[in-house]
Structure 1
Amino acid sequence: MKNHEIARIFQVIAEYLEMEGVRFKPYAYQKAALTLENLKDSVEDIYNQGGLKGLKAIPGVGESIAQKIEEYLNTGKIEYYEEFRRKLPIDLDALIAVEGMGPKKAKMLFEKLGITNLTELEEAARSHKIAPLKGFGDKTEANIIEGIEFVKKSTGRFLLGEVLPLADRVLATLRALPEVQRADVAGSLRRMKETIGDLDFLAISSQPEKVMDFFVSQPEVVKVYGRGQTKSSVRLRQGVDMDLRVIPPGSYGAALQYFSGSKEHNIALRQIAIDKDYKLNEYGLFEGDRMIAGATEEEVYAKLGLPWIPPELREDRGEIQAAQAGTLPTLIRLEDIRGDLHVHSAWDGGVNSIAEIAQAAMALGYEYVGISDHTQFLRIEHGLDEKQLRQRNREIDALNEKLRRAGKHFTVLKGCEANIMNDGSIDITDEVLAELDYVIAGIHSTFRMPRVEMMARLRTAMNNPHVDIIAHPTGRILKKREEYEVAVGELLKIARETGTILEINSYPERLDLGDSNILAAKRTGVKMIINTDAHHIDQLRYLPYGIAQARRGWAEKDDIVNAWGLKKFLEFMKPGR
């Protein structure tokens, strides 16, 4: 947890520095934050073992930043950060969560209107106090109001990527207790929804009181709502609420099914039970007063005449009918993936060299990895022009030759994440695009186009014979930004006509395509690819979030092109490549 706490502080420091117009230093703090956020080892353990020298060995951490990490570990705060907060006492995280509100705008609104938090921002926008300010205007003010409404709708929800690591740690500690025979996570997290309200855990134990004592006394617990003999509820420092229930072994499967949900899936199951003159609840499946199933989920489903249904499908979107017909999909698995095609290298501001990325991908058992650096339009992301792309490609060719000579059956692919301009053109010449193994193209600007214009833009890009994949196709940022004005049905039609692959972006803030759109793509026959959009090798571990989305969208191995071997994948590229 210290890694994430310090990373968040460094990210805010970068935003404060950006407010003040400081050059270069914000990037150093952003890079350090990115590294810490994705560090597998605890920064506290690194410090305890190697001191300041150990901290400085972390990529992106120099003397000054290492000293600030040391200060936090020893005192619980960083004075440099506290100075900024005293100088600009604003809730920066909340303000810049609103789309279109960057650090500099937040500073200006504080200086001009005294705005320090989201409530004051909304009051000022609705009172028409923002539009008259230089650099804002009516359209920006309207966008701020719209952004605030979106943020408010997301309040109380946490990204899957925020809570899954936390839940895994809690679950691991529960399972390690000698008093616990079995423990599982339930609720929407078990169904791997993209955002989660709270965490539900179930356990079997012959000594529930000891388990409850442990649960309510965890270091991260800041509030205990209730502590009972078989159920306790707490709030963690991160703002997440957690429940733990201890269930009798004979009812555990029924309880796991019931508390996993969804509500709609459970209602449908209960109706099947009623039709068979049974009663189904969290205690078991009953015929009259006699329990006929309950110890496992499998036996509950079997007694209802169904095979076990994977939790990700339990949304009452046809999964019960498919189970009855014996046509449940064989869902894509993490181990099916053969490569990640959306990885950024140090060439465009990522943290790691191409050689380091290749080594990390090989360690994951991949057959290939694709380097998809940004292109020239995205100057803020150090986008590459044609000359730089060719220089980078030569480095990839040399690395592949070195791997071949070493007897490695692994390939680094030459790609890019090109920019789709407002008219649908690509910001790199066709001549250079043709030299790449594949091209990902995405929208990174002018997000608020009317639907007709946005679809024309996407159609032009997808008709470019060099564009193979559309990155994060609907442009949503979870808890911050709605999708573009995209007609998904039309998008799928164009993708099918042009043979364009649509990305399932695994980055926790994106998860784009979302599950319902994945299901629509599958039913339309559009192929998809699950990528991480990694800017650090530790972000390669984001792939399970994309896998979860794909599974929720009923995707199978044949639907996902990077579940194929390299030869088949490259042969699928558009005709003329």
Structure 2
Amino acid sequence: MPIQNAEIAAVLNEIADLLDIQEANPFRIRAYRNAARTVGEAGRSVPAMVARQADLDALPGIGPDLAGKITEIVNTGSCALLERLRKELPPGITELLKVPGLGPKRVRALYHDLGVQTLAQLHLAAQEGRVQAIAGFGPKTQQALLEATAARLRQERRFPLGVADETAAALLAGLAAVPGVARAVAAGSLRRRRETVGDLDLLVSLSGDSAVMAHFIQGEDGRQVLLHGGTRASVVLKSGLQVDLRAVPAQSLGAAWVYFTGSKAHNIALRRLAQEQGLKVNEYGVFRGAERIAGATEASLYQALGLRYIEPELREDRGEIEAARQDRLPVLVSLADLRGDLHLHTRDSDGRDSLEAMAAAARARGWRYAAVTDHSRSPAFARGLDPVRLAKQIDRIDRFNEKAQGFTVLKGIEVDILQDGTLELPDSILQRLDLVVGAVHHHLDLPRARQTERVLRAMDSRYFTLLAHPTGRLIGERAPCEIDLLRVLRKARERGCFVELNAQPARLDLADTACQMAKAEGVLVSINSDAHGTLEFNHLPSGIDQGRRGWLEKADVLNTRDLPELRPLLARTMG
């Protein structure tokens, strides 16, 4: 399997991490991080660009030196710089950077002062009380590291959905080209669009004799073969991702697809329902006695059990089977339903592109509006706006809108919710905006009651439209903050404001179950990209996937509304 964008980005990020630990030039480190982000979010195959000798300089932030590194990675899977940096530092030390609370400076201190090189060594050092003796740590930090390392050591390795998507697409394309393969599809948690994927489940249906299993185990990417049989094979890719392939007859493809898509709880509920009707359901079909009565398609299986077709994202045994029996399944929201984006950043704060470029990219997607919501001052990393700079941006947006036709830039701000629940910017400037996006970026470790009261107080502010990334989680890196989300949602309903489903793959915040909760409470959810550059609008499908898992329909999503319908909803939150 050829190298993918995500793997190139991983190499570039590792280079940046190792340079950071070595205290290299900050501009050099930033160049590699930006390149990793550009490659990872590119809407086209970078290896394909290399293969046709396209100019990589056309990608944002990629100069000749980085283009050479990327070409080397595509051709070899690595690069000489990375191999040199790995030799200069202990293997695996970059894993420490994934521990919440550890940045390059602290990793350097742990390595130099305690000889810590691995998660296990850090866990032991924290257990023995040695971490708190290092300058800048202390007992509280030591306890947090002890808990974080314990959690990571227990955690099964899982892969981001985007990485799994890219890997599966390449594998399926190769399988579909093998003679005798009628169809190749993905199943498992990938198809259910879970936030992370533990392994890949792939199915092929055959139209005749095929050497598909032999083809599958003979990939040229150093895959390790775990199992090789006539109808099933399992391999572990170089990335560590396990892939299971099964060949099924065409008359059973639908049943097998349901079975291997899961979830396990959904399949158990289907079997129980079948038993109630005197039927049997398994990966081969639906049977009445020895007679197969359905199974060639998924729809036929569900129909044989008296059910409407259930979308894969809903198959978690959270009420979907009863809803299908009663013909009240939701018509799930789709990407095409979105009319705009209510959370994006420009280079006026920490974005990479201009206001005009972001507006043009949004308009090119067929949207009617987009809200510029640059950061306020508090996040030091964001070069945020004070009232004077925000006022200048507001005037600039007004001038832009006077000339634009058929597209509107909404005036907004992502304002920090301070520890006491007040908003960082005064009402005198907030009142000039179309919407105010409130966000918690600091003090995420407050006790549940204090964190909840903090957010509730912010929502009581005269100008408050949308609560951004409500739990502050970073998938696999930072747990959700302790907050009573039900109270927050009920406050939003009372106040008439909204909550965000942030589509950044590292966030996907709200979680799917929280989306269901918002829907039940009658609170509209805004599915936003939180884009910091034009390429990051490509994150929105991940947000849509999460919303679908949360049973959201078009009417449940704030930014599916056209601008004339949206404006009154925003206005009611603004004083």
Measured against the shorter chain, the TM-score band is over 0.9
Confirm or deny that 1:548 pairs with 2:551: no
CA distance in 2 between partners of 1:221 and 1:430 (Å): 60
CA positional deviation for 1:524: 0.9
Alignment of 1:391-406 (within 5 A): 391-404=392-405
CA positional deviation for 1:177: 4.1
Partner of 1:361: 362
Partner of 1:188: 189
Report SS of the residue matched to 1:346: coil
Letter in structure 2 aligned against 1:519: Q
Report SS of the residue matched to 1:203: strand
Structure 1: give runs of 5+ residues left out of the alignment. none
CA positional deviation for 1:50: 5.0
CA positional deviation for 1:174: 3.0
Alignment of 1:390-539 (within 5 A): 390-404=391-405, 409-539=406-536
Per-residue CA deviations over 1:336-385 (Å, capped at 9, x if unaligned) read 11112222222223222222222222222222222222221112122222
CA distance in 2 between partners of 1:94 and 1:207 (Å): 46
TM-score by length of 1: 0.94
Distance 1:234 1:368, change over 3 A: same
Partner of 1:310: 311
Confirm or deny that 1:10 pairs with 2:7: no
CA positional deviation for 1:134: 0.9
Moved more, 306-315 or 155-164: 155-164
Check the 8 A contact 1:345/1:535 in 2, yes or no.
yes
CA distance in 1 between partners of 2:199 and 2:75 (Å): 32
Partner of 1:322: 323
TM-score by length of 2: 0.94
CA positional deviation for 1:501: 0.8
Partner of 2:385: 384
RMSD value over aligned CA atoms? 2.0
Distance 1:568 1:56, change over 3 A: same
Confirm or deny that 1:129 pairs with 2:126: no
CA positional deviation for 1:212: 1.9
CA distance in 1 between partners of 2:461 and 2:173 (Å): 49
CA distance in 2 between partners of 1:348 and 1:179 (Å): 55
CA positional deviation for 1:47: 4.3
Check the 8 A contact 2:371/2:410 in 1, yes or no.
yes
Partner of 1:297: 298
CA positional deviation for 1:490: 1.3
Check the 8 A contact 2:11/2:78 in 1, yes or no.
no
From 28, 31, 55, give the equivalent of 1:28: 31
CA positional deviation for 1:143: 0.5
Report SS of the residue matched to 1:141: helix
CA distance in 2 between partners of 1:63 and 1:307 (Å): 55
Distance 1:395 1:11, change over 3 A: farther
Runs of 4+ aligned structure 1 residues displaced above 6 Å come to: none
Check the 8 A contact 2:464/2:573 in 1, yes or no.
no
Check the 8 A contact 2:73/2:79 in 1, yes or no.
yes
Letter in structure 2 aligned against 1:281: N
Confirm or deny that 1:233 pairs with 2:234: yes
Partner of 1:562: 559
Moved more, 212-221 or 93-102: 212-221
Distance 1:541 1:575, change over 3 A: closer
Report SS of the residue matched to 2:223: strand
Structure 2: give runs of 5+ residues left out of the alignment. none
CA distance in 2 between partners of 1:189 and 1:297 (Å): 17
CA distance in 1 between partners of 2:384 and 2:154 (Å): 34
Letter in structure 1 aligned against 2:492: A
Distance 1:44 1:571, change over 3 A: same
Per-residue CA deviations over 1:476-531 (Å, capped at 9, x if unaligned) read 11111111011122111211111221111111111110011111111111111111
Per-residue CA deviations over 1:23-58 (Å, capped at 9, x if unaligned) read 43332322222112112333344445557xx23332
CA distance in 2 between partners of 1:75 and 1:546 (Å): 34
Alignment of 1:108-147 (within 5 A): 108-147=109-148
Report SS of the residue matched to 1:347: coil
Check the 8 A contact 1:109/1:115 in 2, yes or no.
yes
CA positional deviation for 1:178: 4.8
CA positional deviation for 1:147: 1.3
CA positional deviation for 1:419: 1.1
Check the 8 A contact 1:424/1:458 in 2, yes or no.
yes
Partner of 2:169: 168
Check the 8 A contact 2:179/2:210 in 1, yes or no.
no
Report SS of the residue matched to 1:519: helix
Alignment of 1:148-227 (within 5 A): 148-207=149-208, 209-220=210-221, 222-227=223-228
Check the 8 A contact 1:147/1:480 in 2, yes or no.
no
Report SS of the residue matched to 1:24: helix
CA distance in 2 between partners of 1:366 and 1:490 (Å): 33
CA distance in 2 between partners of 1:515 and 1:333 (Å): 15
Distance 1:116 1:213, change over 3 A: same
Check the 8 A contact 2:465/2:573 in 1, yes or no.
no
Per-residue CA deviations over 1:405-462 (Å, capped at 9, x if unaligned) read xxxx222222222211111122222222222221211111111001111011101111
Distance 1:375 1:90, change over 3 A: farther
Partner of 1:375: 376
CA distance in 2 between partners of 1:575 and 1:75 (Å): 54
Moved more, 388-397 or 311-320: 388-397
Distance 1:209 1:50, change over 3 A: closer
Letter in structure 1 aligned against 2:505: P
Check the 8 A contact 1:150/1:480 in 2, yes or no.
no
Letter in structure 1 aligned against 2:36: A
CA positional deviation for 1:137: 0.6
Letter in structure 1 aligned against 2:550: G
Distance 1:214 1:357, change over 3 A: farther
Check the 8 A contact 2:504/2:530 in 1, yes or no.
yes
Moved more, 262-271 or 6-15: 6-15
Letter in structure 1 aligned against 2:457: T
CA distance in 2 between partners of 1:345 and 1:337 (Å): 21
Per-residue CA deviations over 1:112-139 (Å, capped at 9, x if unaligned) read 0111111111111111110111100110
Check the 8 A contact 2:123/2:150 in 1, yes or no.
no
CA distance in 2 between partners of 1:166 and 1:77 (Å): 18
CA positional deviation for 1:109: 0.4
CA distance in 1 between partners of 2:83 and 2:110 (Å): 21
Q: Percent identity between the aligned chains?
A: 41
Distance 1:246 1:364, change over 3 A: same
CA distance in 2 between partners of 1:413 and 1:166 (Å): 38
CA distance in 1 between partners of 2:481 and 2:286 (Å): 46
Report SS of the residue matched to 1:105: helix
Per-residue CA deviations over 1:62-120 (Å, capped at 9, x if unaligned) read 34433433454566544444443333325243101110011110011000011111111
